[in-house]
Amino acid sequence: MASKLKRMLSFKERRVDRRLSSSGTFPNLSSPGSPKLLPTPGFDSKHGLARRTMSQPLVVQANLTGLAKLEAVKNLMDKLGEDLKKPNLLPHQRDAALEELKIYGRDPTNADPIFTPEGIKILTKHAFNSPSNSTARAALRVLANSMLLNPVARQTFVDLGYEDQACKKLRNDSFDDEFLVSRVLFLTTYGTKINLLALIQKHRLAETIVDNLSKHAKLLTNRQPKSPIDPMEDMALNETLKLLFNVSHYCPSEVDAFTGCIPHIIALLWKHDVPPSKPLDPPFNALVNALLDLKLEDKDIQAFVYPKAEPNMLAERLIEILDPALNAYPDNELEQLVTPLVSVLRRVHDGAPEEVKKYVRDTLLPTEQDRKEVLGRGTSLTSRLLRNSTNPLTPHLREAISRLLFDMSDQDASKFVENVGYGFASGFLFQNNIPIPASASEAFSTGEAQKPVNPITGQFVESEKHVDVPEMTEDEKLREAERLFVLFERLRKTGVVDVQNPVEMAARSGQLHDFGDKRVEEVDE
């Protein structure tokens, strides 16, 4: 009886298994790498892939790998392509398919159909022709990601000629659209033949960017404390600023069209709170970079760069960012993040009225407190600037700092040496073929009390620590003479320099005598 019951139960379990198989639901596979497929009507057990009918909802299941992933991506692209010819997907099905593609497209391995010319064309049409905002944005996300990962896809998009539609969509009152379209256009500025001139002159890109920055500045100015912030707001701002920088940089002939951005960028710089731990994290790095190529000297915006009520406002904010930034980042990030900041500060200083120039110089040039020790040895902002002006790991930053310091010295080599010391000034002067002033090695006086300063170190002479060095013993003199003799002999044998050993010359001229104990001793004259 027991064996009969077991056979009946076994038969019943097999029937259940067959029903599960025919309905498309499989037992959970626990082996590593096995795809976990959700129950979906119409599952084809032969191929192990979900074949969805057009009237059924698309379930996001982007967890396939290998050939299964490739087949899934191909099926999704085919369905989205067919949907363009004859709409047969419901809006939520279309969005789900694009969401699944977005996940698959994060890793281009076995996602080739996304990156083909036909794939980019399908995504572009859904992104810019769809009447549904959710579908268009879902397609834009996949498109932007594919253009980021595959440089060829950028030119493919440009060849489709959707610049006009992109610029129009950029005018939508939506942070999502601003973020996504700015990202797509930003990527086209790398390695493509996009006509930036047409974007600006024909498609009003500059005007749109100015309007979007104005919107961000107004929102920030009018925002009530503790009011909720849309997380897409800062992301959209950052992408707009990156697009602004690239377009103005790669199309310098049209930089005047972006001058209207300057007041809004300054307002955003001033209104945003500077994070002390990472002062050049977004959006501050993008805000600073955006000013690099813009015409800060334009007479129409001087009232914004140097407002009458607070002429130091912009310079003060830039220095407020610079101070913690020199401590916050390692050398490789200093080179990338702080160099533009110093360059913008230099431009602000160069075009500033005397009041602002005095403020910048008083803040950045060595003070009497700094000169109580060798310049560059302290912890002040000035000391850190000077140290980075000779930092071998940040060539662009050290050049930018040296040029700023030179400009603050009225581009006068003598003043430059007096301000920073010959040690910090000499390298810059030599590299730029600027004659070293004759007075460079002469002591000078500075400060209210006109204290004498060491021209090499920049330190007050009275603050120098004089080290008492004891007289060398005869044995020490002997060892030093032997070291010098060996050193010059090695130099002579290399042939690199033609030198005569001074110890040997002294011996031949009778200045050295060999005593019985074989010591080499100098004879007093």
Give domain status of residue 119, yes or no: no
Give the mean pLDDT of 207-212. Answer: 97
Q: Which helix (H) or strand (E) holds 452?
A: strand 451-453
Decide if 365 is inside a domain: yes
Assigned domain for 104 exists: no
Q: Average pLDDT, whole number, for the chain?
A: 82
CA distances from 455 to 366, 391, 425 (A): 13, 21, 10
Distance from the first to the final alpha carbon of the chain: 128
Q: What is the pTM of this model?
A: 0.75
Residue 367 lies in a domain: yes
As to burial, measured by CB atoms within 10 angstroms (0-12 exposed, 13-18 middle, 19+ buried), residue 67 is: exposed
pLDDT tens-digit readout, 423-438: 888 889 988 998 877 7
Confirm if 361 and 408 have CB atoms less than 8 A apart: yes
Task: Evaluate whether residue 366 is within a structural domain.
Answer: yes
- Asked if residue 223 belongs to a domain, the reply is no
Instruction: State how far the Cα of 412 lies from the Cα of 426, in Å rounded to an integer.
Output: 13
Cβ contacts of 263 within 8 Å, gap of 6 or more: 217, 301, 304
Question: Which domain range does residue 349 map to?
Answer: 306-464
Q: How many residues does the chain have?
A: 525
| b/e 466-505 (16+ beta carbons within 10 angstroms → b) | eeeeeeeeeeeebeebeeebeebeeeeeeeeeeeebebee
**CA gap 24, 5 in Å, rounded:** 29
Structure confidence at residue 473 (pLDDT): 85
522 sits in which H/E element: strand 520-522
Task: State the pLDDT at residue 19.
Answer: 35
Pairwise CA distance, residues 3 & 482, whole Å: 104
Any domain includes 48: no
- In the three-class reduction of DSSP (H, G, I as helix; E, B as strand; rest coil), residue 514 is classed as strand
pLDDT tens figures, 215-271: 999 998 888 877 788 889 999 999 999 999 999 999 999 999 999 999 999 999 998
pLDDT band at residue 48 using 50, 70 and 90 as cut-offs: very low
- Distance from the Cα of residue 182 to its chain's centroid: 17
Helix (H) or strand (E) holding 451: strand 451-453
Confidence band for 462, pLDDT divided at 50, 70 and 90:
low
In 10 A of CB 30, how many CB atoms? Answer: 7
Inside any domain, residue 284: no
Structural domain total, the chain = 1
